[in-house]
Amino acid sequence: MMQDYEALSQRIFALTEGETDTVALMATIACEVHHSDDRFNWTGFYRVTAPGMLKIGPYQGGHGCLVIPFSRGVCGACARSGQAQLVADVHAVADHIACSHSTRSELVLPVHNRDGELIAVFDIDSDQPDAFSCADRDGLQAILDRVFAQDLT
């Protein structure tokens, strides 16, 4: 089933309008995205908390990894490159970090603030193989770009 990213974005923008707290924004997005699609098994943010280091932020689903270095895994690759990672089979990724044994595919998107600085990555796992499409990547990236490009002072 194709996700309706227009409707999802309208819900998220209505819920986050005027909010400037980054954690509140992340919590709201993680919740809305997670419950919008049965393919999404784990949905959450890993925040940049130190140079080359990601720490778990607001999420929905089972436990996630607490800390991920930029040098490891799919989330690290996204943080290093600043590019979305669309992985059809996580078992084919040599340095995949298995936070959950049930994860089969993954989509990780960079989250930048309005100054273009990487502040987090948005990680979505699925227990289905090849669960994500370019439409998922593009639809979710557009939501993240719009929400986090605002003035969060």
Domain ranges of the chain: 5-148
- Rounded to 10 deg, the angle between the 134-148 and 22-34 helix axes is 150
pLDDT tens per residue across all 153 residues of the chain? 557 899 999 999 999 999 999 999 999 999 999 999 999 999 999 999 999 999 999 999 998 889 999 999 899 999 999 999 998 887 766 666 666 677 788 999 999 998 999 999 999 999 999 999 999 999 999 999 999 987 665
Q: What's the rounded Cα separation, in Å, for the pair 116 and 144? A: 12
Fold for domain 5-148?
A: Beta-Lactamase (3.30.450)
Give the pair of three-digit tokens for residue 85: 């990672």
Q: What's the rounded Cα separation, in Å, for the pair 44 and 151? A: 22
- Residues paired with 56 in a beta bridge: 46
Torsion, Cα 40 108 106 44, to 10 degrees, reads -40
